[in-house]
Amino acid sequence: MSSPYLNNMIIIGCILTYTSGRAWVLMSGFTLAFGSMFSKTWRVHAIFTNIKLNKKLIKDYKLFMVVAVLVFIDVATLTTWQIVDPFYRDTHNGTAEPSPQNEDIWVIPEMEYCQSKRMTIFLGSIYAFGIFLAWETRHVSIPALNDSKYIGMS
């Protein structure tokens, strides 16, 4: 039930997230890492809440299909997002400070970031789904199957 192939997908997702240079790579990494963890948690949820599934084993290929569906949903969402409400660069200027090396030079810190008007709606729905799965599997007594604490920490 440990699903080492899904654990490898989690690692690949973490690597993509760590090396993200654009929103699409970050989205792919996040979906691979957390989607794999969520699909494993969904399997535990399905086994412990549905009596009929106790006799059936949910195979890894079904979990991969869940992750593929999540990636497809993310690509469709991000494509729609980029068309309807694209990211834009916003700049925030800090307060001017004198340079420590030269008093005649003033340094104005400037922070640039990408922003979108409806970003919290998209991120909130992903977080809400993860919280739901973690909450549903919080009382699983088998430590190898209970990823809800790790989802909550992440």
4-18 helix and 23-49 helix, angle to the nearest 10 degrees: 150
pTM: 0.55
Q: CA 44, CA 136: separation in Å to the nearest integer?
A: 9
Residues 12 and 31 sit within 8 Å (Cβ to Cβ): no
The DSSP-derived string for 62-106 is HHHHHHHHHHHHHHHHHHHHHHHS--EEEEEE---EE-SS-TT-E
pLDDT tens string 38-76: 777 777 777 777 656 555 667 788 888 888 888 888 788
Q: CA 35, CA 9: separation in Å to the nearest integer?
A: 9
Q: CA 106, CA 92: separation in Å to the nearest integer?
A: 17
pLDDT tens string 105-126: 999 999 988 787 877 876 787 6
